[in-house]
Amino acid sequence: MADNIPGDLKYTREHEWARVQGTSVVVGVTQHAQESLGDVVYVELPKVGATVTEGKQFGVIESTKAVSELYSPLTGKVVKVNDGLSDNPSAVNTDPYGAGWIVEIEPSDPKQVDGLLDAAAYTALLQNS
C-alpha cells in the first residue's frame, strides 16, 4: 500500500506528523503509523495545559493487540486535545491527518518546527526502514 505523506506537514522519526496552525501546532500519527498499529481502540491523551517535551512520551495509543507510546515532536504546552477520540478512536485509522488528530501544542519556541523532517525526508526514512 502506498504511504500517504502530505507535502505540507512536518514529521518525526517516531511517525508523528505536525501541522502549523497559527501560533500552535496540531499533532497526529502518520498513515504508516496507523497501519502498523492496526485497529486503534484507545488513546490516552494529556490534559489541556500540560507541558510536553520534545522526544518525550505525552500519551499512549492502543490497538486491540498492543500499547504504543506517543512522543511529542515539540516542547511546549498542550492547548487542545481531540476529545472525539474517546468515543471514536478509530478516526486515527480512517482519517489520520484529519479527524484522527491527537493534540494541539503551543511550542515554547516556534522555530522548533523547522527542525522536524519534511515530507521528502520522511518518505526517505520509510523507504530506508
Partner 1 sequence: MARHTPLNEAHRKLGARMVDFAGWDMPVQYSSVIGEHEAVRTGVGLFDVSHMGEVEFTGPGALETVNALISNDLARIADGQAVYAGLLDERGTFVDDVVAYRFSPERILICVNSSNREKDFAWMKSHAQGVAPVDRSDDYAQLAVQGPKAAGLVQRLTKTDLSKLGTYRFTEGEVAGVKCLISRTGYTGEDGFELYSAAGDAVALWDALLTEGQQDGVKPCGLGARDSLRTEMKYALYGNDIDDQHTALEAGLGWIVKLDKAAFIGKEALVAQKAAGVKRKLVGFELTGSGIPRHGYAILKDGAPVGEVTSGTLGPTVKKAIGIGYVPTALSAEGSTFDVDIRGRAVPAVVVKTPFHKKP
72 neighbors 51 (Cβ within 8 angstroms): no
Least separation in angstroms between CB 20 and partner 1? 30
CA 69/CA 14 separation, integer angstroms: 9
Q: Does 48 bind partner 1 (CB under 8 A)?
A: no
Q: Which three cell numbers stand for residue 128?
A: 530506508
Nearer to partner 1 among residue 52 and residue 116 (C-beta): 52
CA 75/CA 110 separation, integer angstroms: 10
Q: Which of 13, 14, 20, 44 binds partner 1 (CB under 8 A)?
A: 44
- Applying CB under 8 A, which residues contact partner 1? 38-39, 41-42, 44, 60, 62-65, 67, 86
